[in-house]
Amino acid sequence: MIAWHRAVATSLVLLTGGCGTTSPSSGSSGTNSARVVSFTERDEDNGVQPVPRGHIVDINSTLVIDLDRVKLLRKVGDSASLEFDQGQLDELDVAQRVSKQALDALPLLSRAMDRYMSSAKTRDDANALSAELRGVANAAIAVLTSDLPGFEAKFGERLATAAATGQVEIVDQYRFLFEEATDAVDRATTALAAQADAKGVFVQFGGWIVSRGARRPLHLPGFDEYPEGERFVVERIVLELDAAQQAQLKTYAEIAKQANEQGLLAAIDLERQGRALLARLGIDLEATIAGIKAKADEVTTAGAGLADGAAAQLVTLIDGTKRDIDVCLGFARQLIGKYSAASSNPGDALSLVAGLQSDLGELLARSRALEASLKDKVRQLGQLAVQLTAKANELGAEAAKIVQLVRAPIETMIAQFRILTGGQQINTDTLEFGEKVFKLAVGSVPTQTELNLINTGQRRSGDQLVFKLAAGKGDDPKTRRTLEEHTISMFQVLPHVEPAAALVLANPESRTNAVQGDFHYAPGMSFLLKSGSRKSMLYNRFFDPGIGINVAALDFDGDDNPELGVGGTLSMFRDWVQLGYGYNFGTDDAYWFLGLSIPLSGVASQSR
């Protein structure tokens, strides 16, 4: 068999000009090679592109989801402790991968052959054909040097059958080789899957859509019996402001009126706007400050009380100990004085001895009482130390709450920034397969399914799709292990038009109008053409540039009758900032303008 492989490989080398014969390695340089599940996006404009892990798709696209059976066997074998031949899995992996790539490349090779046959067959034409052949030949060599069960015989039979009817074109020879290699891989993986099935191994694959914390399961044909979701198309051309934008436009009109009279800073009240922004971020600044102050006062009072109480107890213990010692020492001094005086009266010896015995007994009793009292004081001191430690720990825990109150708004803002740059953080451990998700035998796992996002219900830019692949044994759910998780974000990536309300700061080129100062303030709205990114969350969530038309209700002549202003505009930062040049049709004035779509909470007269 090895000699046959070498002979065919040598002929392929000669066909391709003797170069580029290095076969693909069984490994891979990227993490994608280890993934069982891969995604391909097919968008509304018929664009097709692979979806790398953690990347972005258009919100109305269809996802083609492929499951690699060889890689699935490898992961199932590791998870369920099945002893598969890893060398065989490596060979199957290489043969499957290169065969698929080569089959996809054959139409290009066929066109290259046609171009060569219709050319003058110069050296340049031959070199161009050789370059097309080289990649396919490399794949063929990789297949031929893999020990695929039954492949040699099947390929030989197919070549012989085709040759019996006439000359077999080189493109057809390659196609026979790769198709037979694919069939051989299928036969081998089916045999390995049967081993897993015999051990009671099952596989589950499911998906969820996550929108602002809410989640709902997705229907993936072949993997569950969930009903298909509501059909909902996210429109690519929207010309009407939604309710929130209409309310914002009304606010801008109020601010513009007051700003033209009193100035912009007086109209927007920066302090109030800052508090409103914190509120939108979920931060109640006043409540946070009040909470910090109250907790600090509570801890300070408790700490002072603890210190005073502990000091009082300690003074009582020390005073009591001193009294007990003084009493005992005082009795001892009395005895010393008594017997010093008695020693000068030796005639009363019996009385002296009897009295001494009695006094020594009393001294011993008092000494024992002092010992017991001292031990009790030591015990009380120990208890006081334990109480102080416990109270100190309680105060420490309360003080830690102050730190948390301070950290909370900071952590909230950090979380908002993380969402801005990387999307909503999802705890995938809480996503559990429902009863309607099938438990499939390994050999029965579909190798492909599709998810049309239009049939997943209401969605908005920034919503996420989560997919989970798991395997287990028998009926015990505790044996189930997650093999892979994938998160994909949805945005309007394809070109689309959307409206935006704006506070327009117009700077007329002519100074013959009634505009006081550099700017005239007016409410306006823009219609912006945008296109999203498939790679950058920050681009979609933060930069989000657009180009379009701005329409503003101006009053350059100051007669309280609005004039129509129309101009071109560029927008950035989620439309928060717009810059453009327009024309006031009512007063025949051109103007530069700055548009602000920053969320504002209303005019100063409505505040507090």
Whether the model pTM is above 0.75: no
Per-residue pLDDT of 16-71, as tens digits, reads 444 443 444 444 434 455 789 999 999 999 999 999 876 899 999 999 999 988 88
> 68 with 208, same domain?
yes
Would you state the pLDDT for residue 271? 53
> 9 with 37, same domain?
yes
For the beta sheet containing 448-452, the strands, ordered from the edge strand earlier in sequence to the opposite edge, are 48-51, 37-42, 62-67, 448-452
Q: Work out the percent of the chain whose per-residue pLDDT is above 70.
A: 69
- Tell whether 406 is covered by a domain: yes
**Total of domains in the chain:** 3
Would you state the pLDDT for residue 5? 45
> 449 with 332, same domain?
no
User: Which residue would you say has higher pLDDT here, 9 or 451?
Assistant: 451
User: Which residue would you say has higher pLDDT here, 315 or 492?
Assistant: 492
> 377 with 463, same domain?
no
3-state secondary structure of 546: strand
Would you state the pLDDT for residue 372? 75
Which residues, in sequence order, are CB contacts of 63 under 8 Å at separation 6+?
A: 39, 40, 41, 42, 51, 57, 450, 451, 453, 465, 488
- For residue 322, the tally of other CB atoms under 10 A from its CB is 10
Would you state the pLDDT for residue 16? 45
Bridge-based pairing state of the strands 56-58 and 577-584:
unpaired
- Among the ranges 15-19, 51-55, 215-219, 603-607, which has the highest mean pLDDT value? 215-219
Per-residue pLDDT of 515-572, as tens digits, reads 777 889 999 999 999 999 998 888 998 899 999 999 999 988 888 888 999 999 999 9
Which residues, in sequence order, are CB contacts of 279 under 8 Å at separation 6+?
A: none
Under 8 Å between Cβ of 428 and 210: no
- Structural domain harbouring 404: 285-422
Q: Among candidates 483, 585, 365, 508, which has minimal Cα distance to 79?
A: 483
Q: What are phi and psi of 221, to 5 degrees?
A: -50, 130
DSSP-assigned letters across all residues of 35-52? -SEEEEEE-TTS-EEEE-
Would you state the pLDDT for residue 427? 55
- E strand segments, 418-519: 440-441, 448-452, 464-473, 481-491, 496-508
Mean of all residue pLDDT scores within the chain: 77
- CA dihedral defined by 331, 333, 339, 343, rounded to 10 degrees? -170
What are 201's two structure tokens? Answer: 């191994």
- Tell whether 231 is covered by a domain: no
- Tell whether 164 is covered by a domain: yes
Last residue of a domain, one of 422, 456, 480: 422
Q: Which of 260-264, 385-389, 577-581 has the lowest mean pLDDT?
A: 385-389
> 183 with 94, same domain?
yes
Under 8 Å between Cβ of 215 and 209: yes
- CA dihedral defined by 173, 174, 178, 180, rounded to 10 degrees? 10
> 535 with 559, same domain?
yes
- Tell whether 236 is covered by a domain: no
DSSP letter for 28, please: -
Per-residue pLDDT of 287-299, as tens digits, reads 655 655 565 566 5
In whole angstroms, give the CA distance from residue 538 to residue 522. Answer: 31
- Among the ranges 135-149, 171-185, 223-237, which has the highest mean pLDDT value? 223-237
Let me know the angle formed at the C-alpha of 507 by 501 and 510, rounded to the nearest 5 degrees: 135
Which residues, in sequence order, are CB contacts of 22 under 8 Å at separation 6+?
A: 138
Q: Work out the percent of the chain whose per-residue pLDDT is above 90.
A: 27
> 248 with 208, same domain?
no
Would you state the pLDDT for residue 307? 61
> 125 with 194, same domain?
yes
User: Which residue would you say has higher pLDDT here, 339 or 494?
Assistant: 494
Per-residue pLDDT of 244-256, as tens digits, reads 889 889 988 988 8
pLDDT classification of 404: cutoffs 50, 70, 90 = low
Q: What are phi and psi of 133, to 5 degrees?
A: -70, -30
Q: Among candidates 174, 178, 183, 176, which has minimal Cα distance to 150?
A: 183
Per-residue pLDDT of 139-167, as tens digits, reads 777 777 777 777 788 888 888 888 888 77
User: Which residue would you say has higher pLDDT here, 462 or 321?
Assistant: 462
Under 8 Å between Cβ of 509 and 251: no
Measuring CA to CA, how many Å separate 180 from each of 3, 135, 164, 269? 20, 19, 18, 75
> 19 with 105, same domain?
yes
> 559 with 592, same domain?
yes
- The residue with tokens 């392929």 is 12
Last residue of a domain, one of 391, 422, 453: 422
> 481 with 416, same domain?
no
Mean pLDDT of 588-593: 93
Q: Examine the pLDDT at 7 and tell me if it is beyond 70.
A: no
DSSP-assigned letters across all residues of 569-587? EEEETTTTEEEEEEEETTT
- Tell whether 290 is covered by a domain: yes
Would you state the pLDDT for residue 77? 80
Q: What are phi and psi of 52, to 5 degrees?
A: -65, 160
Mean pLDDT of 191-197: 82
Mean pLDDT of 251-276: 72
- Tell whether 339 is covered by a domain: yes
- For residue 153, the tally of other CB atoms under 10 A from its CB is 11
Which residues, in sequence order, are CB contacts of 492 under 8 Å at separation 6+?
A: 58, 59, 234, 236, 461, 498, 530, 532
Would you state the pLDDT for residue 135? 73
In whole angstroms, give the CA distance from residue 289 to residue 286. Answer: 5
- Among the ranges 105-119, 362-376, 402-416, 479-493, which has the highest mean pLDDT value? 479-493
- Tell whether 553 is covered by a domain: yes
Handedness of CA 558, 562, 563, 565 (dihedral sign): positive
- Tell whether 280 is covered by a domain: no
> 45 with 181, same domain?
yes
Last residue of a domain, one of 491, 513, 536: 491
